[in-house]
Amino acid sequence: MLQPITYNPPLHLKLDILYQDNDLIALNKPSGLLSVPGRGDDKQDCMLSRLQLEHPQALVIHRLDMSTSGLLLFALNKEMQKYMSILFEKKRIHKQYIAKVHGIPKESSGIIDQPLITDWINRPKQKIDYRTGKHSKTKYTLISSDKENNSIVKLEPVTGRSHQLRVHMSSLGHAILGDKLYGTQQTQNASNRLLLHAEKINFIHPLTDKQTHINCTVDFL
């Protein structure tokens, strides 16, 4: 098992609210902050606990890795939590991420279809395993590249496995910059944070039946 990373969450100034109605709220989670409480008293500060200071009834819908920034949804009642969980389960929610990666993909777009499973010896790392891994699929699109041999890519997860985007991009030889788990020494040192951001989410609102689009500006572009 890997040595646990010291938890030093960013200072809480105010909630960055992207969308809110009577049943649902979307927040911009900063990199370095847990989505939900972790194990131990030192890991209770998280996006959920900060939201519950203002909305004690708030409930979890989905999560982002601690190192990932961006759009995170919470329900404001149990009914909405149930409805949104069903949408996620039926893959009726479209999520889009932006990442800055090492190198320039040979193909301008593609699909990564690599089964993933927990690497128990090195947990929390995940690994590709064609024998026992769970079906995992990611769409990627090259947006731009620079003189430093880095690229900006759009990532669209078809499945929602733990660390999926990070493992999949690393498997192509294009590790996300700042990734301390799946990058090389060079890519780890290229940024003091993981350059992965949950940018957009689209779904049909369970209570209004309206197409709902929520955006979250990327802060490292």
Q: Which of 46, 102, 38 is nearest to 72 (CA)?
A: 46
Per the annotation, the verdict on 21 as an active-site residue is: no
What is 116-180 written as a DSSP string?
EEE-GGGTT-EEE-TTTPBP-EEEEEEEEE-TTSEEEEEEEESS--TTHHHHHHHHTT-PBTT-T
Of 65, 113, 119, 129, which one is the catalytic site residue? 65
Q: Is 135 exposed, middle or buried (0-12, 13-18, 19+ CB in 10 A)?
A: exposed
Distance from CA of residue 197 to its chain's centroid? Answer: 7
Main-chain phi, psi angles of 43, to 5 degrees: -120, 30
Q: Is 144 exposed, middle or buried (0-12, 13-18, 19+ CB in 10 A)?
A: exposed
In the chain, which ranges are E strands? Answer: 17-20, 24-29, 59-60, 69-75, 94-102, 109-113, 116-118, 126-128, 137-145, 150-157, 196-204, 211-215
Catalytic residues: 65
